[in-house]
Structures are given as structure tokens and as C-alpha cells.
Structure 1
Amino acid sequence: MASTQQRFMRRGITKILFLESIQAPTNIPTRTELTAGTDLSKQISDIEGWSLENSPIETPDLGSGFATSIPGEDKAASSSLTFYEDLASDAVEKLLTKGSAGYVCIMRKGDVPLSKSLDVFPVRVGSRAPSYSTGTEPAKFKVSFSISDLPTLDAAVPAAAAG
């Protein structure tokens, strides 16, 4: 039996948080750790990367003119977040200074407890640079991240705290 797919737009749904630490070796945060993180969603104007890529290994053989391949090593795509600058606050700039380490948590379908849509990327900030323009557009800056360890993908969003 076919079910109706409920499509959605990421803007207004997807949440991106920065956590300074996660205790579990699985890199899956608790609800308390998520709550203690910084929600960056409303300051982000653009997002790039945040996925794994595979570098296939070619396996040609003498018996065929076709070059086959097998899956090779995985690596993280170049990843960055572009933020709107805040004329009154530099909180995001202070949080994401060059060399800062932490975790970028992306809740793809929003903060929906137990939804298997949480991706956690252990990161270090590689660079932070303003985007200069003379045009009539908002001031922005771009933060580039190095993915420092294997990301945890498709984890369950932690259950909401009992209350």
C-alpha cells in the first residue's frame, strides 16, 4: 500500500546547533547537551557540504576494456556555514573562532524527538572570514569547518525532558 509522502522545505524546519562537548563515545548528544548548545539556525544564510563522499578505487582488468571500480575511503565534503553579521553582538564570532572544536548537530527534520534525522559532525573551525560587498545585501561572514572525526549520521533526536 502506497503512503503519501509529506515533502517539506528545510528553511523553517531544519535546526543547526553547535555543541562544545558531547560525553557519549557515539557522539550522540543527550537532551541536556542539546539544550546547552547554541542554536545557530536563525543566523545562518547559507550552508555547504555536511556530507560524506566516497573516493572510488579503479579496478581495471586485462579481460575487459571497461574500467570497473570498488568503493574506497570515505571523506567529509568541504563544509561551511555562512552567517548574517550582527551589528550589536559578536556572540557567534566568539563561539566560532579559528581552531575552536566542538560538534555541529543538524536536525534535518527539526527538533522531533526520536526522529532518526540527527547528524552530528565533530569539527574544528578552519577559518572565519567576512564577506565584503558594496551591494545592497546584508553583511555576512563564512565559517569553514574541518570534520575531525567520523560523523554520526541518522541518529535519533533525543527525547524531550520529562516535565
Structure 2
Amino acid sequence: MSTTQQRFMRRGVTKIYFLDTIAAATNIPTRVELTGGTDLSGAVADISGWSLANSPIDTPDLGSTLTTSIPGEDKADSSTLTFYEDQLSEKIETLLTKDVVGFVVILRKGDIQNTPPSKSMDIFPVRVASRAPSYSTSSDPAKFVVTFSISGEPLLDQAVPAAS
């Protein structure tokens, strides 16, 4: 059986928002909360992490020489966003200072408002661990790196909220 895909590149499609709060106990934002957040997409130079990894637990037994395993704890990878510095504004630096808490919301396939809804929204409860400039003497644009601690269980593959 053959599957037809519409492949895409993330640049120019994927959206990244920072939300101060989400009202619902489920931590799933509404359309109003999403559009009221800060769209960071146009300032992001690089992204790293933003995924979960499982640490399997070995379960050897005397009946076999094969060491089997069971799923263990989940752990969020170290997660960073690298931003271009703005010579005239400190909007992002002010928003993402050390110890600020909020949510990084990633719309992997963009802001798709289909019926049925695209299940391509990932929500990460976060706390800013650090923000540091990236110094360089080369011809690179000025950048800074924000490192985030994932402070709660991320919600992956959630439906992108429809417009009101």
C-alpha cells in the first residue's frame, strides 16, 4: 500500500509561541490564549531539544542470557531556543529572563485550522534556566541562547485550536 505525503520543511511553516499562562487545568491553550501569546517564530535562529526520551530499565532473569527491558522514566531533553538579537529592542530578552515560567507552544505543521483539527501542537510547561549572549568575532549575526527547564509533563500531538 502506497501513502501519498505532502512533505514540507519546518522553516517558514513551524510556529513557536510563548504563553505566560494557560487557564485550563489541561494546559491546552484556547485560540485566544495562543494568539495573545508572543510569536517567537521570526526571531528564532536555531532550536534544540523539545523532545522526550525514555530510560529503559533492564530486567534480566536466570531463564535467558538475553537482558530484556521495560519502559522506565521519561525525561525531557535539554531544550534551547537561539534568537537573533535586535539592536533596537529588548522585547524577547525582557520576556525570557531567568526564572520566568510559562509555556512554549510549538505548532509543528504551522497554524493549520483544518476540520478535523491538525494534531500537531506540542505544549511544554517551562521555566527559563538561563539566557546568555553568543559572542563571535566572525561575520555572524548577533544571537543569544535561552535554555529552558521543562517543568511539567509536556502535552504532545494536541489539536491546533480553531479560530473563534
- Alignment RMSD (CA, Å): 0.9
Structure 2 equivalent of residue 40 of structure 1:
40
**Aligned pairs for 1:120-159 within 5 A:** 120-159=123-162
CA deviations on 1:97-150 (whole Å, 9 max, x unpaired) are 000000000000000122110000000000000001100000000000000000
State the Cα distance separating 1:67 from its structure 2 match. Answer: 1.4
Matches within 5 A, 1:46-125: 46-113=46-113, 114-125=117-128
Return the offset for 1:10.
0.2
- Structure 1 distance, partners of 2:107, 2:12, is 12
Q: Distance in 2 between matches of 1:116 and 1:144?
A: 26
Give the Cα–Cα distance (whole angstroms) in 2 for the partners of residues 3 and 153 of structure 1.
24
How far residue 4 of structure 1 moved from its aligned partner, in angstroms, is 1.2
Shift of 1:61: 1.2
TM-score by length of 1: 0.96
Aligned residue-pair number: 161
Q: Taking structure 2 as the reference length, what is the TM-score of the superposition?
A: 0.96
Gaps of 5+ in 2: none
Matched, 1:13 2:16: no
Q: Secondary structure at the match of 2:156?
A: strand
- Name the amino acid aligned to 1:61: D
SS in 2 for 1:56: strand
Residue identity matched to 2:161: P
Secondary structure at 1:141 match in 2: strand
The gaps in structure 1 that reach 5 residues or longer are none
The Cα of 1:83 is off from its aligned counterpart by 0.3
Comparing 101-110 and 3-12, the one that deviates more: 3-12
Q: C-alpha displacement at 1:64, in angstroms? A: 2.0
> Between the two proteins, what is the percent identity of the paired residues?
69
Ranges of 4+ aligned residues in structure 1 off by more than 3 Å: none
Residue 65 of structure 1 and its aligned partner are, at CA, apart by: 2.0
Offset from partner CA, 1:6-58 (integer Å, 9 cap, x none): 11000000000000000111111000000110000000000000011101001
Partners of 1:89 and 1:160 lie apart in 2 by 30
